[in-house]
Structure 1
Amino acid sequence: MTRTDFDPATVKPDGRPPGQARLFDPAADGPRRGSVEGIALGGAVTVLAYGTDTPGAGPRLHVHPYDETFIVVEGRARFLIGDTTIDAAAGDVLLGPAGVPHRFENLGPGRLQTVDIHHSPRWIQTDLDQD
């Protein structure tokens, strides 16, 4: 299928060079596998990698002043976004709207791996759960 969503002649390069950064080391341990802030690449989004093999494990309840898009790369997860509960599996994409508290957990069995896209050049977060 050929796509022609816009006329390329209407978009002028802004002079930024291409960028590259390493999101995570595949051999590293721990759930927060890594992050790349958009500002490091000259971009508008920050990307995080999260992975855990432990059922029930996941980030604590938190909130951002911007939207967050979640991509489930591997496994199954339960997302709690505001008052909504969504069970998701590999291949699913979810949206956490700005200002809405959210968290997710590994439903198991096996590994949960997500890529989380923060719609901000910097990672800004307030945790709502206490240790």
Structure 2
Amino acid sequence: MHSIIDRSEWAEEPDKWLGEVQLGAHGGNLCLIFNLVAPGQGPRLHKHPYPETFIIRAGRALFTVGDETVEAGPGKIVVVPADTPHKFINPGPDVLETIDIHERGSFITEWLE
């Protein structure tokens, strides 16, 4: 059995890659977040009991992954291991576009700040 998920089921706006989908409800083992992050914005420190992968489509991100700081731009892929505290911020000046892949069919997030 396969699933086709219509954009109207996950997109916050019909013409933007912005929203999220938990594929466990459709038989998958991933969650996808499509982000558009304004300069100066980003999620606060958190961790998951599974790996999270970030694909940078446009803009730049400053990641904190454990004790390291990493900068990533278009075309870069950042993989955060399971149970590793992480966050990122868009240092600007452009909008940051990412696809975040959670290796689980539903979200589990522990917020640390």
Asked if TM exceeds 0.5, the reply is yes
- Matched letter for residue 52 of structure 1: V
Is 1:105 the counterpart of 2:68 in the alignment?
no
Q: CA deviation at 1:26?
A: 4.9
**Is the aligned partner of 1:40 residue 2:25?**
yes
1:21-55 CA-partner distances (Å, limit 9, x unpaired): 43422557xxxx321001132111110112122x2
The one-letter amino acid of 2:41's match is A
Q: Which has the larger radius of gyration?
A: 1
Listed as ranges, the gaps of 5+ residues in structure 1 are: 1-15
Secondary structure at 1:35 match in 2: strand
Structure 1 residue ranges, 4+ long, deviating more than 3 angstroms after superposition: none
Deviation at 1:17, TM superposition (A): 1.6
After superposition, residues 38-77 of structure 1 pair within 5 angstroms as 38-53=23-38, 55-77=39-61
1:87-128 deviation digits (Å, cap 9, x = unpaired) = 000111010100000000002111001110000000110111
SS of residue in 2 equivalent to 1:49:
strand
- Please tell me the root mean square deviation across aligned C-alpha atoms, in Å: 1.5
**Percent of matched pairs sharing the same residue:** 41
Q: Between Structure 1 and Structure 2, how many residues are aligned?
A: 109
Task: Give the alignment's TM-score, normalised by structure 2.
Answer: 0.88
Give the alignment's TM-score, normalised by structure 1. 0.77
